[in-house]
A = this chain, B = another copy of it.
Amino acid sequence: MIRIGDFSKLSCVTVKTLRFYDEEGLLKPVQVDQFTGYRYYEFEQLARLHRILALRDLGFSIESIAQLLDQGLSAAQIHGMLLLRQSEIRQKVVDEEERLSRVTSWLSQIEQEDIVSEYDVVLKSAEPIRVASVRAVVPTPPDQGALWGELGSYMAEQKVRPTSVCFSLYHDDEFKEHDWDIEVCEQIQAELTPKGRVQVRALPAEAKMACTIHKGPFETIGKAYDAILKWIDVNGYHITGACREVYLSPSHDGSQVDPDTVTEIQYPVAK
């Protein structure tokens, strides 16, 4: 029998950890002095400790290790648990590699421009949303004002107050000089009847959207698009749907020049 300090050296496990495993019932010393409280271990117990370390290394929690060791699971059951862990670790490797590419993308941005970009891109999800919308081809984005007017009249006529969420969908896949296919949208709570060019439809949920925030007038929003499109490219994503330009400032009228304007650009993406 050996004392906890020697057992600790033999196993490369700290004394604190051994005491913790004792408390948790994972590895009880074969004997505890009833007067001094000293813990005494057998060399044999190194085998159990090794099994604990191996399971912990695989990422099992202390509680599951305790169950696993005491219930004496069958080879088939352990096999199943290992398969599960295998896929979890694989996922973790994938996640870390994606994180790595995000770091690399930041680094290359700083190296190229010698300044930290003001546009941070993050991934979000979006819930399904019901909207009233007007879709049309207009010469350029600033010409969408008329569409907003049309939609606003409809909303007033239906006597629904717009919720604070409104945005434009840009349906073109590629950059255009002229003739942009734009859909202006207002979120609505209840079903409404379409009328004229105003449609009522539901947008599906989006699992992953790359998003960035633009502060300031629309004239300079091009920089935000540059940043997010580059991010999507460098991080190995591709665009899977229409871009949403969300007007976060209150009382959007489609032609703001207010310097306090805040706009969020959202691209549905996938790997």
User: Which residues of A pack against B, CB within 8 Å?
Assistant: 2, 6, 10-12, 42-44, 46-47, 50-51, 53-54, 57-59, 75, 78-79, 82-83, 85-86, 89-90, 92-93, 96-97, 99-100, 102-104, 106-107, 110-111, 114-116, 118, 120-122, 124-125, 164, 211-213, 215, 248-249, 260, 262, 264
Q: Could you tell me the distance between the alpha carbons of A89 and B97 in the complex, rounded to whole angstroms? A: 8
Say yes or no: B89 contacts A103, CB within 8 Å. Answer: yes
Quote the shortest CB–CB distance from A7 to chain B (angstroms): 11
Q: Are A78 and B116 in contact (CB under 8 A)?
A: yes
Known: A50-B213, A78-B116. A260 touches B99 (CB 8 A): no
Find chain B residues with CB under 8 A from A106 CB.
54, 58, 82
Main secondary structure of the interface of A (DSSP, over half): helix
A85 touches B103 (CB 8 A): yes
Q: Who on chain B is nearest to A118 by CB? A: B47
B contact residues around A248 at 8 Å (CB): 10, 43, 46
- A50 touching B211, Cβ below 8 Å: yes
Contact B262 A44 (CB under 8 A): yes
Question: Which residues of chain B are near A86, meaning CB under 8 Å?
Answer: 100, 103-104, 107
Q: Are B96 and A93 in contact, CB atoms less than 8 angstroms apart?
A: yes
Contacts of A10 in B (CB 8 A): 248
With both chains docked as a complex, state the minimum distance between the C-beta of A94 and any C-beta of chain B, in angstroms: 10
Q: How many copies does the complex hold?
A: 2
Known: A50-B211, A79-B107, A107-B83. A92 touches B96 (CB 8 A): yes
Within the complex, the shortest CB–CB distance from A6 to chain B, in Å, comes to 7
Q: Is the CB of A78 within 8 A of B110?
A: yes
Q: A2, A50, A79, A118 — which one has the most chain B CB atoms within 10 A of its CB?
A: A50
Among A79, A103, A118, chain B packs the most CB atoms within 10 A around the CB of: A103
User: Is the CB–CB distance between A124 and B57 below 8 Å?
Assistant: no
A44 to B264 Cα, complex, angstroms: 10
Cβ-defined partner of A43 (8 Å) among B6, B43, B59, B262: B262
On whether A99 and B59 interact (CB within 8 A), knowing A83-B107, A264-B46, the answer reads yes
Minimal beta-carbon separation of A249 from chain B (angstroms): 6
The CA of A89 and the CA of B262, in the complex, are separated in Å by: 34
